[in-house]
Structure 1
Amino acid sequence: MNSSPADPAPEATPEPHPGATREPAPEATREVAPAPPPLRPRHRVMAWAAGLLMVVPALITACRALDTDAVTPVPQLLAFLPWLTVPAGLALLLAAVARRRVLTFVAVLVLGATAWSTVPYMPQTVISYGLPLARVKVIASNVEFGQGTGSLIELMRRERPQLVFVSECDRACRGALTKTFATELPHYASVEGEGSVGSILLSSYPLRDWRMIPSTMGMPGATAEIAGVPVRLQLTHPMPPVPGQVSLWKRELGRVKAAVAAQPTGPMLVAGDFNASQDHAAFRGILAAGGLQDAARRADESRAPTWPAEGPLPPFVQIDHVLVRDFSVREVRFPDLPGSDHRAVVADLDLRGPR
């Protein structure tokens, strides 16, 4: 009978040498978060484009929040403030597509701040007035070197205003208006001049206390007696804030501010081409100094554009205003004025008695 061989004896584990050191057992493998993937070339371009698109909205929004018109190009770009939400929104889209979280967060902040800055500047508060004393229709118009005079005459015949504030009314314009409306608007205060220098304020009410604010272009003012109440009237037309004359623009708007601040009480109408929108600090300073309200804001029309009304671009900014004190606002409209690069402002107002 065959016998199976015996199982081999297990090998003995060799004992370590007394002087030898034991190697440590390997630790458990730790999980390491994967590094963020590198930007693809097109994502890198998108991130750079998003950053560049945010620069102008961020700068202009910051100036608006700090209540400053600063220097060129800020005053010019403030006129575009509502439209700056477009590049800010595009920057957010590009940052999101590029998958850059921090950049996307910054873009959200810039877009939100820009949109918030476009909220109308004057709160809609309920104002307590006395009884209405008289209904007054006002037209403010820039006729562009007199070229829109014929259109203005047609508008005045249709609307039959009691007060008309006309900027850039040259001598021919002045003669046409005073002759055509000698019966309806027999009283006027004017600054004679050619081109953009001339201005005229026509009134169906007697005028007194004629004064002119010193300026490059005419800014006449006077006091009208309406329903037995003296009402201060002031036409405005400062120089525009083009590069190289921003300081002059600020200085002339500052003179308007000083003029309205000098008469802190009583009814007042300040109207014309301000060459400034609600987003300019110099314009808001006039409102604050005189306790004035923009009639367009009271009529929920504070973003209705009035310039430029001719040329390749549609109107994009409201720089023509009728500002009121102790008047309630019924309606404000902005009719086109063929021949001029401005739309006119027609405001239906009620002069109110004391509270």
Structure 2
Amino acid sequence: MRDRISSALGLLVSVGLMVVALRYVTDFWLLSFFFSLQPQLGVVAALGALACLVLRRSAFAYVLLAVSLFLCGHALWMQREFLPSATSDVAADATRFRVLSFNMLGNNHSNVGRIIDMVNGSGADVAYLMESGPLLHHLDALSAAYPYRIGCGILVEECDLMILSKHPLEHPEYLSLSDLRSNRFAMATVHIGGHAVQLAAIHLTKPYFDDYHTTELRRAGAALRKRGGSVVIGGDFNSDTIAPDMQAFLRRHALQATGSEPATWPVAAGVFGIPIDHIYVSKDIAPLSLTRMADHYGSNHYGLIADLALSPPR
């Protein structure tokens, strides 16, 4: 009986490992969600392999354990590639600024007051808000702290993706990255510390919807390249940084994470969730810290706050 249970468990672990390992030969969209789950699935597979060894020691179970540990380790290694360098090189006279990014959930009406208080009290210079429909009739409560806005009646009628700013927003623009969702990519220029910074807020389609996710990333990248200059892009990417199309996007546009990325979805999973919400910056911007909001304010996502620095122009 122990042999049969060990064999059946080994087969299940093998299938799981094979699904994750396919990332090394293909970025097929139907499997893309599992690629973001590589660390979690690697841990589960390792535990399954250990259970196989407890039931019956075999060379196959040891191989499964080795492959599981490799997948976990490589996921951590891939995350390291996009982490910022040490902040000790930040100039003393650099201009500090803060960016908030939060998918507040489109039917989250009962927490609007708390969300407004949080945004107003966050100290953020710029706030990217996704699924912001519940704020439609409460925008005046944000206008004192954030006198500049695009979205929710400015540039586009729909109240979905919105950028709030304490600085004037120049050359604002909305793009529809695919025919599945409209106006889920917004850009504008702000001047901070003598620098022109390109702000970009994004809400990507889920990665298992055909090739939409990869296509939308490519179109967003082309729009950023057309603008040029320093970039702060944040929002709900619906994928971990380690997903193949995400890695290609970051490498192609020389972007980096703003710190070790915490899990943001689903909130019920806590630290065992997936970091699918991100704030990335170009490498001429120094990330100082990245923190996950302590409260999810009724959303199914946690929000992020990044503190950044720009050295004065020479």
TM-score category, normalised to shorter length: 0.7 to 0.9
The residue that corresponds to 1:6 in the other structure is none
Matches within 5 A, 1:126-205: 126=86, 132-145=93-106, 147=108, 148-170=111-133, 172-177=134-139, 179-190=140-151, 191-193=156-158, 198-205=160-167
- Per the alignment, in what secondary structure is the counterpart of residue 100 of structure 2? strand
**1:256 equivalent in alignment to 2:220:** yes
CA contact (8 A) 1:207 1:224 kept: yes
- Please report how far the alpha carbon of residue 231 of structure 1 lies from its aligned counterpart in structure 2 after TM superposition: 0.5
The residue that corresponds to 1:333 in the other structure is 291
Matches within 5 A, 1:210-221: 210-215=172-177, 216-217=181-182, 218-221=184-187
Distance 2:265 2:256 in 1: 21
1:269 to 216, 219, 232: 232
- Per the alignment, in what secondary structure is the counterpart of residue 206 of structure 1? coil
Distance 1:124 1:211 in 2: 28
**Pair 284,353 (structure 1): closer, same or farther in 2 beyond 3 Å:** farther
Q: How far does the alpha carbon of each residue in 1:46-77 deviate from its partner, in whole angstroms, 9 at most, with x for none?
A: 123213212212331341x45x53131x1222
Larger Rg over CA atoms: 1
CA contact (8 A) 2:13 2:49 kept: no
Distance 1:344 1:161 in 2: 12
- Per the alignment, in what secondary structure is the counterpart of residue 224 of structure 1? strand
CA contact (8 A) 1:137 1:349 kept: yes
The residue that corresponds to 1:11 in the other structure is none
For 1:53, give the aligned amino acid.
Answer: V
**1:209 equivalent in alignment to 2:175:** no
**1:86 equivalent in alignment to 2:43:** yes
- Per the alignment, in what secondary structure is the counterpart of residue 301 of structure 2? coil
**1:55 equivalent in alignment to 2:15:** yes
Distance 2:248 2:114 in 1: 33
- Per the alignment, in what secondary structure is the counterpart of residue 118 of structure 1? helix
CA contact (8 A) 1:139 1:344 kept: yes
The residue that corresponds to 1:118 in the other structure is 75
> How many correspondences in the alignment?
297
Q: How far does the alpha carbon of each residue in 1:163-184 deviate from its partner, in whole angstroms, 9 at most, with x for none?
A: 00011112x514423x123232
Distance 1:157 1:43 in 2: 61
Question: TM-score normalised to the size of structure 2?
Answer: 0.84
Question: TM-score normalised to the size of structure 1?
Answer: 0.75
Distance 2:170 2:240 in 1: 30
CA contact (8 A) 2:49 2:61 kept: yes
Distance 1:192 1:109 in 2: 54
Distance 1:124 1:159 in 2: 23
- Per the alignment, in what secondary structure is the counterpart of residue 246 of structure 1? coil
The residue that corresponds to 2:310 in the other structure is 351
| Larger relative contact order (CA 8 Å, sep ≥ 6) | 2
**Pair 52,349 (structure 1): closer, same or farther in 2 beyond 3 Å:** same
- Please report how far the alpha carbon of residue 267 of structure 1 lies from its aligned counterpart in structure 2 after TM superposition: 1.7
**Pair 165,185 (structure 1): closer, same or farther in 2 beyond 3 Å:** same
**1:96 equivalent in alignment to 2:40:** no
The residue that corresponds to 1:292 in the other structure is 255
CA contact (8 A) 1:164 1:203 kept: yes
Distance 2:265 2:104 in 1: 12
- Please report how far the alpha carbon of residue 80 of structure 1 lies from its aligned counterpart in structure 2 after TM superposition: 2.2
1:70 to 23, 28, 36: 28
The residue that corresponds to 1:235 in the other structure is 201
**Pair 330,129 (structure 1): closer, same or farther in 2 beyond 3 Å:** closer
- Please report how far the alpha carbon of residue 101 of structure 1 lies from its aligned counterpart in structure 2 after TM superposition: 3.5
**Uncovered stretches (5+) of structure 2, i.e. residues with no partner:** none
For 1:203, give the aligned amino acid.
Answer: S
Distance 1:126 1:306 in 2: 24
CA contact (8 A) 2:198 2:231 kept: yes
- Please report how far the alpha carbon of residue 309 of structure 1 lies from its aligned counterpart in structure 2 after TM superposition: 2.1
Distance 1:111 1:77 in 2: 14
- Please report how far the alpha carbon of residue 131 of structure 1 lies from its aligned counterpart in structure 2 after TM superposition: 5.8
Identical residues among aligned pairs (%): 24
Distance 1:285 1:132 in 2: 34
The residue that corresponds to 1:282 in the other structure is 245
CA contact (8 A) 1:306 1:334 kept: yes
- Please report how far the alpha carbon of residue 226 of structure 1 lies from its aligned counterpart in structure 2 after TM superposition: 1.3
